[in-house]
Amino acid sequence: MTSKDLLLTLAFFLLFGAGATAQSSPVGIWKTIDDQTGEAKSHVEIYQKDGRYYGKVVRLLQSDPEAICEKCPGDKQGQPVLGMEVLWNLQAYQDYWSYGQIMDPENGKTYKCSLWLEGNDRLKVRGYIGISMLGRTQDWHRVK
């Protein structure tokens, strides 16, 4: 990542990530909301392993629970979406998680990813190519 990309990413989180606190954590189960349709799509469990954060699909809400990822890259192609790791390698910072990746199982595309909390039960998930300012953000809701 270039210093310009880093500066833009940090500026973004200073402006929009101020609602999160250092004690909050994304660990848990989250209901994913499609940013284009507004519909709930799945539950993703975010967990910490070896100091990094990962997420896997633990429930499908709209599609066949035995759905196969036809467009996924590499060893994920042809694998069940349920149980698939779709979020990986995120690093924790003061009040956000970044420098990881997220994959959309519907189209198989992989994006850089950043997360930040708004309150304790709302997670902002931003996927982007290049710099963070040029991406899309989804709202995920913590499952009680």
Domain assignments of the chain as residue spans, ordered by start: 3-142
DSSP letter for 106, please.
T
| pLDDT at 6 exceeding the cut of 60 | no
Q: How confident is the model at residue 19 (pLDDT cuts 50, 70, 90)?
A: very low
d(CA 90, CA 75): 20
Helix, strand, or coil here: 137? strand
What pLDDT sits at residue 102? 98
d(CA 43, CA 59): 5
pLDDT digits (tens, 9 = 90+) for 47-87: 999 999 999 999 999 878 899 999 999 999 999 999 999 99
Could you tell me the fold of the domain covering 3-142?
Lipocalin (2.40.128)
What pLDDT sits at residue 25? 94
- Cβ–Cβ < 8 Å for 44, 29: yes
Report the DSSP beta bridge partners of residue 91.
52, 98
Q: 């009040």: which residue's tokens?
A: 95
- Which of 76, 64, 138, 142 is CA-nearest to residue 105? 76
> Count of alpha carbons within 13 Å of 11, Cβ hemisphere only?
9
